[in-house]
Structure 1
């Protein structure tokens, strides 16, 4: 997946490591379950001409199945679902980057998406 220029950290490493080092404001408290952590950060661009991004990051947050009995990051399942919905013509957030790695024996996973514009929350929709 392509990287968006303007979100690089000072770290000279793999694309995963560069995205992993990007930090933003937490959108909600960390979700601590599935023997791991999962949370979303808002990444504001340095250059206002670049889009705002969301970074979903997980450490040790796994699902298990017959295909993956030892566990696989839930972000990878979410990434594949977004891709499948997009192929069917369903509007999904624009995927910027998605990947997982095992680091020091622990799974880490990232899903970077462009912020949605022109949409309202389900709560706002019900209130209207």
Structure 2
């Protein structure tokens, strides 16, 4: 990030999260942009830009660790009706959908921070979400021998998926 970087949007979910970030010397966009951690998803090049994800441990005041996923992108935009030429960062759209689903009472990941900056015509965006501990993907779950062969368990999991997705369709979100 250059010195001429101009932060154009910065949102913390609440003051508690802002305080947690500050305890970890993460005051805002610049500090998050310069974090160094191993990539969970190495930066890929698409949409004429780059986007990648890493996991970062935030230390709480009581010594507990709260892992988060930090997603960073540069010029990784999607075109919209309001911005048909340059587009907007895909993370802005993701952040907006997460907030919309939360407001509708639909359980989704917690988006703790969204920030956006511009430097020399290049858009930069960061989305930080709380890591979901103890969850596995459906692919991983079905790969476990004790789950894939138990019809009752499979039905229960599929019912949970339907119960989670049904309100999204009922409210016309998507």
TM over 0.5: yes
Q: Deviations for 1:64-114, whole angstroms, at most 9, x for unmatched residues?
A: 121111211000000000001111122222222102111232100000111
The answer to whether the aligner puts 1:56 opposite 2:56 as a matched pair is: no
* Higher Cα radius of gyration: 2
Match of 1:32 among 20, 31, 45: 45
Counterpart in 2 of 1:106? Answer: 122
The whole-number CA distance in structure 2 between the counterparts of 1:22 and 1:7 is: 11
Q: Deviations for 1:29-88, whole angstroms, at most 9, x for unmatched residues?
A: 222110000010111235651301100000010001211112110000000000011111
Pairwise CA distance, 1:124:
1.8
Q: TM-score, normalised by structure 1?
A: 0.86
Structure 2, unmatched stretches of 5+, are 1-11, 148-174
The whole-number CA distance in structure 2 between the counterparts of 1:125 and 1:87 is: 29
Equivalent residues in 2 for 1:46-125 (5 A)? 46=59, 48-69=63-84, 70-125=86-141
Give the helix-richer structure, 1 or 2.
2
Task: Report which stretch shifted further, 23-32 or 68-77.
Answer: 23-32
The answer to whether the aligner puts 1:45 opposite 2:58 as a matched pair is: yes
Contact 1:24–1:44 (CA under 8 A) maintained in structure 2: no
Contact 2:59–2:66 (CA under 8 A) maintained in structure 1: no
Pairwise CA distance, 1:122:
1.8
Structure 1, unmatched stretches of 5+, are none
The whole-number CA distance in structure 1 between the counterparts of 2:119 and 2:24 is: 22
The whole-number CA distance in structure 1 between the counterparts of 2:100 and 2:42 is: 29
